[in-house]
Structure 1
C-alpha cells in the first residue's frame, strides 16, 4: 500500500524543496513552504511559471512508473492562449507538430469555456485588441516546455498553463497551494486509470 500526495503548485513556485540556483541570490518559492511531509519527493516536474497538479510520493517504484516515458501517462492541461485558434490549428496539435527536437506525438486538443479557477497572481498580460481562448490539451510526452512550444508553433502563444490531470489523478477541489493524500490499494507501482465512462 502506497501513499501519494496531490499538490496544486502555484505560479512562480519551483517543483522542488530547495532552490540551489537562485538568480542573483534572490530566493524563489519552493515546495517547502507548501507541504512538510518528511521523505517525499516530486514524481516529475512542472515548470516554475506553470501551475497545477504535481504528484509527490515516498515510493520510488511508484515515482518511476509515473515518470518513465514507456508508461506514457497522459497529462491534461488547461491552456489560455493568445488569439482564437482555427480548426486547422487544433487539427495540427492533434496530428503532432514538428518542434526543434523532433515531431510530437498526436495530442488531444479542443477549445473549452473559460474554466472556473482563481485569478493568477500576478495576472496574465492583457491586450484589449487581442482576444484569448482556453484549450484543453492532453499529451503523453514530457519534453521541456512542450505545451508552450506546441501552441506557439501553431501561432498561439501560451499565456497561462495549468496541469489538471496526470493519468487518473486530477486537480479537482484543490486551490493553489493546497494538497491532499491518497492511498493506493493496489500493487506498488500501479498507476490508477480513470474508470470507463467517468466524466468530470
Structure 2
C-alpha cells in the first residue's frame, strides 16, 4: 500500500491489475519502502542522487525546523490537538520555522503563528529541493508524511537529523477512517534513518 499511496486510485486500477497479464509491465520510480511487488511491476529506487548533485549542499543552521501536515484539513486530526502538539514540539525542541503543507488553510496557519510564535514558511518548491537549497535547521521534525522517507535521502551527508512525531490516537477526529491510525503508523514505522519524538518532556526515542 505504501508503494502506491501517492498514486491515484484510477491509476492503480488501470495499471496494477493488468500488469503481467497482457504483456505490459509497469515501472515504479519511488523512494518509498517496498515490500511485496505485484506481478508485472518493477521498482527503481529513487535515492535523490540528481537532487543532491544539482542543489546544495545547504547551509545548516543550529536551529530546528518543523514540517507541517494537512491532516487537519483532511479531517483526520483535530485542529486544537494538532496546534497543541505543534506548540509543545516548538517549545521542547526550540523550533523557529514551520514549513507549511500546500493544503494547509490560511486561517489555521495564522492561528498557529500567533499561538506558537513560529515563522510560517510556504515553500514554492518541493520541500526536498527547498531543504537542499538551504538554509535548513540541523534538526527537522515532521509529522507522518512521505518527507520522513525522502528528506533523509535528499539531505544525506549534510549532518541534518530528521525526526518524526507520531500521531497520538487521541488526536484523531471521530470521523477519521478506522484505517488512519494504522496507515500513519506504517508511514513512520517503515522510515529509515529517522529518529522518533514525542510531544511531552521526553526527547528522542531510540
Pick the TM interval, shorter chain. under 0.3
Q: TM-score if structure 1 supplies the norm length? A: 0.25
Structure having the higher strand fraction is 1
Higher gyration radius (CA): 2
Q: Name the one with the larger helix percent.
A: 2
Tell me which of the two structures has the higher relative contact order, counting C-alpha pairs closer than 8 angstroms and 6 or more residues apart. Answer: 1
